[in-house]
Amino acid sequence: MPSIQKSPLTTYLDHLSRGELAYQFSPAAGRAVFYPRVTCPFTGNEALEWRISKGLGTVYATTVVHPAEGKPFNVALIDCDEGFRLMSRVEDIAPEQVRIGQRVRFRVHQPGGDEPPCPVFTPAEGA
């Protein structure tokens, strides 16, 4: 009988719930893969390994969103040191103070309720 495997998204969310930023690595392509997938987007190979990021990255791009209700917030593209990029936000700093090239550190945001955990970043001191 075939074994039932968890979906890549479930594995990713399980890591987040433990405070880890997990990503996949494609040995065939020699590259990091993010967002979690079943096959490598570079080679089509199904052999993907799970790895844990050290949680450091650099702001690649950022913008400030001004919602009709509520406070402004930033949306940022973060280049993680392991070679993958993700969309997130930088917290613990005014949205307009987030800068391209700024070093940041990962942490998990736990919204509660039915919302899953998500990765966010804070300014990295001395990184």
Contacts of 12 by beta carbon, 8 Å cutoff, 6+ apart? 22, 35, 36
Residues 6+ apart with CB under 8 A from 111: 117, 118
Residues 16-44 pLDDT 10s? 999 999 999 999 999 999 999 999 999 99
The pLDDT-based confidence of 1 (bands split at 50, 70, 90) is: very low
What ranges do the domains of the chain cover?
8-123
Cβ neighbour number for residue 11 with a 10 Å cutoff: 15
CATH topology of domain 8-123: OB fold (Dihydrolipoamide Acetyltransferase, E2P) (2.40.50)
Assigned token pair, 54 = 């050290």
Q: Which helix (H) or strand (E) holds 24?
A: strand 22-26
d(CA 112, CA 107): 15
Q: Is the pLDDT of residue 3 over 80?
A: no
Decide: 58 and 103 in contact? Cβ < 8 Å.
yes
What H or E segment, with its residue span, contains residue 121?
A: strand 118-123
Confidence grade of residue 2 (pLDDT, cut at 50, 70, 90)? low
Whole-number pLDDT of residue 16: 95
